[in-house]
A and B are shown apart, each in its own frame.
Chain A
Amino acid sequence: EVQLVESGGGLVQPGRSLRLSCAASGFTFDDYAMHWVRQAPGKGLEWVSGISWNSGSIGYADSVKGRFTISRDNAKNSLYLQMNSLRAEDTALYYCAKAKGEYGSGSYYFESFDDWGQGTLVTVSS
């Protein structure tokens, strides 16, 4: 059974940093692209960032480009999101999601997200 467990969320002041982690199990982690998707309270889904299986293809939403960095450690079956210069509008539940792999693409996109964690809440407030 696929399990994705996010951690690292919390209350942080504007301008500060936070690092999210996603521990993966139940599948061959280094076979799949991975993503972060967020959802502000009462709002819709917003894709944040994605990374291919070998970290060779990485993408970011315009809203976080230059502030957030996605990475993965295939030896530890873990995905990370380093979030710097946090803003109030970054307040959201952050989900880790696994790409389905239906195309076997070497890119971070093209594929749907077939497994999701339960999310970790990030609150940016003074």
Chain B
Amino acid sequence: DIQMTQSPSSLSASVGDRVTITCRASQIISTYLNWYQQKPGKAPKLLIYSASSLQSGVPSRFSGSGSGTDFTLTISSLQPEDFATYYCQQSYSTPGFGQGTRLEIK
């Protein structure tokens, strides 16, 4: 199975900050990498698919990049509603999620 490793596991930041979360796959997955946001008590929400494509309705401050084994999710200017947990997920083979990155208010 392909293992997904996110870093950091948690992150404190302020409104207006630029934030980057990294996801690394244990083997090459091309661009079969997706990013989700989850808020407490809510279902996950798709943000980015195919490594860099923005899901409809998602603000443009969210962006994704990468291919092969290394990927990043960037939030260009944090808004109060962005404080949540973020997960990467590979869909190259049997799907698997990273362990999550909890983004907290500093």
How many contacts between A and B, using CB within 8 angstroms? 62
Within 8 A of A (CB), among B66-87: 85, 87
Indicate if the CB atoms of B97 and A61 lie closer than 8 Å: no
Partner of B43, one of A100, A102, A118: A118
User: Does B99 count as interface, using CB distance less than 8 angstroms?
Assistant: yes
What residues of chain A have their CB less than 8 Å away from a CB belonging to chain B? 35, 37, 44-47, 50, 59, 61-62, 95, 100, 102, 109-114, 116-119
A to B CB contacts below 8 Å, 27 in the list: A44-B97, A44-B99, A45-B38, A45-B44, A45-B87, A47-B95, A47-B97, A62-B1, A95-B43, A95-B44, A102-B50, A102-B53, A109-B91, A109-B93, A109-B95, A110-B91, A110-B92, A111-B91, A112-B34, A112-B49, A112-B50, A113-B34, A113-B46, A113-B89, A114-B46, A116-B43, A117-B43
